[in-house]
């Protein structure tokens, strides 16, 4: 079991940027691919956004290496502020839907933004 402190990984109490989320993702991924149990600790994080969480956690659901069951068994999230807890199920559900039909989501986005593929 490894305890990863988000604040230490990103060097800030503010977890907003996708780039910071990518740092967390890469750290988590390196342990999970070794089947190491990971506790992701959000102590002292004062601002948390879905953009950060999409990069940090959502990407894990796109990896063919990990199933939802594997992640539920090997990844534990702790010390999240009460007002931020609702973000996690949203991010996870959105990631599952996106990676299940990535091409469909991208086609829909292209239609909205550009009027075609």
Is the pLDDT at 9 greater than 50? The verdict is yes
Burial label, 19 (beta-carbon count in 10 A; 0-12, 13-18, 19+): exposed
Query: Which residue, among 42, 26, 38, 35, has the nearest Cα to 1 in the 3D structure?
Result: 38
Q: What is the pTM of this model?
A: 0.86
Give the per-residue pLDDT at 105: 45
Residue 8 pLDDT > 70: yes
Res 111: pLDDT: 60
Q: What are the residue ranges spanned by the domains of the chain?
A: 2-114
| 31-57 residue pLDDT tens | 999 999 999 999 999 999 999 999 999
Which pLDDT score is estimated for 108?
A: 53
pLDDT in the model for residue 102 = 56
């Amino acid at each position: 079991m490894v305890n990863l402190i988000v604040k230490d990984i990103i060097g800030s109490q503010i977890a907003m940027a996708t780039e910071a989320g990518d740092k967390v993702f890469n750290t988590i991924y390196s342990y999970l691919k070794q089947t190491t149990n990971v506790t992701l600790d959000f102590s002292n994080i004062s601002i948390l956004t879905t953009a950060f969480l999409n990069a940090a956690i959502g990407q894990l659901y796109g990896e063919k290496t990990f199933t939802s069951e594997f992640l539920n068994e090997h990844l534990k999230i702790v010390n999240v502020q009460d007002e931020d807890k609702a973000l996690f199920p949203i991010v996870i559900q959105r990631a599952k839907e996106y990676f299940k039909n990535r091409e469909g989501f991208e086609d829909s986005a292209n239609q909205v933004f550009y009027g075609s593929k």
